[in-house]
Structure 1
Amino acid sequence: MDDVKLVTPQTDVSRRGFVVMSSLAAGFALAVQPVQAQTQISTDTNGLEAGEVSIPTGSGPIPAYRAQPQGGKNLPLVLVVQEIFGVHEHIKDVCRRFAKLGYCAIAVEHFARQGNVANATMEQIRPIVAAVPDAQVMSDLDAAVAFAKASGSVDTSKLAITGFCWGGRVTWLYAAHNPGVKAGIAWYGRVVGDKTPLQPAHPIDVADKIKAPVLGLYGGADQGIPVASLDQLKAALGAGTKSEFVVYPDAPHAFHADYRPSYREAAAKDGWTKLLAWLKANGVA
């Protein structure tokens, strides 16, 4: 795609000594190019307040993308959690899609302290992502909620979270972390796996703490997330869970990513329709 732009984000040193990205990259991450322009969805900003914001945290500000209706009041809030490629144009576009429907959507750049994934190869991205502590992610999402509340335009009692791949796993974890979450939608996030000191638990390990209903959207042809692992999580959630799973039999991993060859239009559109119905059914509308 010839018109894709990449900008190296600026960095600052926080008061705790972290080197922090202070701005978001434009365009798409290097690791996902070339972008599939023929299927890429582009949502305009007409009628929206949309752009980069700075989220205050205990270790200094980090960048995020926010989109919401112009002049909106008492807006429901959806936290949008990135893939491993950072807050690039697709994640920003998802935020704008929510904003067009009357939501405030915020996507935090969760890798801001650990490195710049925008100009990185897959081999370079993996160690950056591995260095991001789950505790930091939970804290940054809490900070995004506090930022939204302080804006005066958002009703944070109507809080939801959705995420893709890396962010799908985070969606389950945050639903366990924050009792204020009313609904979650996890797109093909892994639910079991190896543990590390920085990632000490997976969704299956915190299943007993997940009180909010989470909708899991998965691909039956996903080579990295076996359907059997979803069955394990279902069992751990227990018979009384309000969470549900939808598996699209022929869909691969990242079937919602309209800028990648993995995109499957039918599954992506059906999943989005189910997401919106899930939000409404659980009071986030």
Structure 2
Amino acid sequence: MPSEMITIKSPDGDFPAYRAAPEGGGPGPALVVIQEIFGINLVMRDICDDLAGQGYVAICPDLFWRLEPGVELTDKTKAEWDKAFDLMSRFDPDTGVKDIAETIAVARRDKQSTGKAGAIGYCLGGLLAYLTACRTDAEACVGYYGVNIPKFLDEAKNISGHLMLHVAGKDQFVDAKAQKAMHDGLDDNPHVTLHDYPEQDHAFARVGGEHFDARAADLANTRTRAFLQTHLG
């Protein structure tokens, strides 16, 4: 898929983003791909490329730019994990959502965009996908194994688009109490759909990751594709 690094201009400064678009220049809905704690790494770029192959304009912004621009880590070494957790501990979700909102605005204006826009995020990005649904006008958002969502459940009433969350039943970072809180706070919301994967751990859809499960990942991704097709076209 045609891909490039672009620059997103915001009131707080400029930051880079990875952009992948459908071949042939045809129009498609836009999706902001929200990073894990590892930055715009190969996993995120591959997700963008895959979405572009499905007909989306996929843009993954560098959300750590205020802390350290250009972070690109893997999940293969302790040193990288330590750095990723340090970045997450210093990251401000509120400014992250502002950067996502700026990226959505750019995505809507993209020369190949239909004007419809959504977001899809993983881990830290799963939380940010939830907050994007609460705080922006994105038509559709998807979060995979989002962390710390219960802290923000009071914002769910603000969701005007559609939200799908994939919940790992044995998530080492989201315990059973937090999962119950998510269901209690969201199950009755007509804008929200939760899917549980009872036997899966965090990052079960991260290709090449320690907890990757091909069957569960395929099920979640199939649900995501149908959801996005329904709400973004």
Structure-2 residue corresponding to 1:5? none
Structure 2: state its 5+ residue gaps.
74-78
- State whether residues 256 and 268 of structure 1, in contact with CA within 8 Å, keep that contact through their aligned partners in structure 2: yes
Q: What code does the residue aligned with 1:56 have?
A: K
The reply on whether 1:132 has 2:91 as its aligned counterpart is yes
Q: TM-score, normalised by structure 2?
A: 0.89
After superposition, the C-alpha distances for 1:104-127 in whole angstroms (9 at most, x for unaligned) are: 011001001202543663223323
Q: Does 1:182 align with 2:135?
A: no
2-structure distance, mates of 1:145, 1:59: 16
Aligned partner of 1:233 in structure 2 is: 182
Are the equivalent residues in 1 in contact too, given 2:202–2:211 (CA < 8 A)? yes
Q: Which range moved further: 249-258 or 123-132?
A: 123-132
The answer to whether the 8 Å contact 1:192/1:203 transfers is yes
> For residues 167-204 of structure 1, what are the alpha-carbon distances to aligned partners after superposition, in whole Å with 9 as ceiling and x for unaligned?
000000010010x21111110002446xxxxxxxx331
Q: Please, which runs of 5 or more residues in structure 1 have no aligned partner?
A: 1-47, 194-201
Q: What secondary structure is seen at the aligned counterpart in 1 of 2:18?
A: strand
Retained in 1: the 8 A contact 2:104–2:138? no
Question: Superposition RMSD on alpha carbons, in Å?
Answer: 1.9
Write the letter of the residue equivalent to 2:35.
Q
Percent identity over paired residues: 26
Match of 2:122 among 164, 168, 179: 164
CA distance in 1, matches of 2:38, 2:64: 9
Amino acid of the residue matched to residue 204 of structure 1?
Answer: L
What is aligned with 1:108?
Answer: 61
**Structure 1 position 94, deviation (Å):** 0.3
- The answer to whether the 8 Å contact 1:98/1:105 transfers is yes
| Residue number in structure 2 paired with 1:9 | none
- Of 182, 188, 211, the residue aligned with 1:262 is 211
Task: Identify the residue that residue 122 of structure 1 maps to in structure 2.
Answer: 81
CA distance in 2, matches of 1:102, 1:147: 17
CA contact (8 A) 1:191 1:204 kept: no
Q: Is the 8 A contact 1:191 1:230 kept in 2?
A: no
Cα distance, 1:207 vs. partner?
A: 1.7
Q: Which residue of 2 aligns with 1:80?
A: 33
Shift of 1:62: 0.8
How far is the alpha carbon of 1:56 from its aligned partner?
Answer: 1.3
Structure 2 partner of 1:197: none
The amino acid across from 2:199 in the alignment is: D
SS at match of 1:56: strand
Q: 1:150 to 1:181 in 2, by over 3 A?
A: closer
**How far apart in 1 are the matches of 2:179 and 2:212?**
21
- Cα distance in 2, alignment partners of residues 226 and 278 from structure 1: 26
Other structure's SS at 2:228 match: helix
On the 8 A contact 1:208/1:237 being kept in 2, the answer is no
Instruction: Kindly provide the CA deviation profile for residues 77-130 of structure 1, in whole angstroms up to 9, marking residues without a partner as x.
Output: 111101000110010000011100110011001001202543663223323222
Which letter maps to 2:72? A
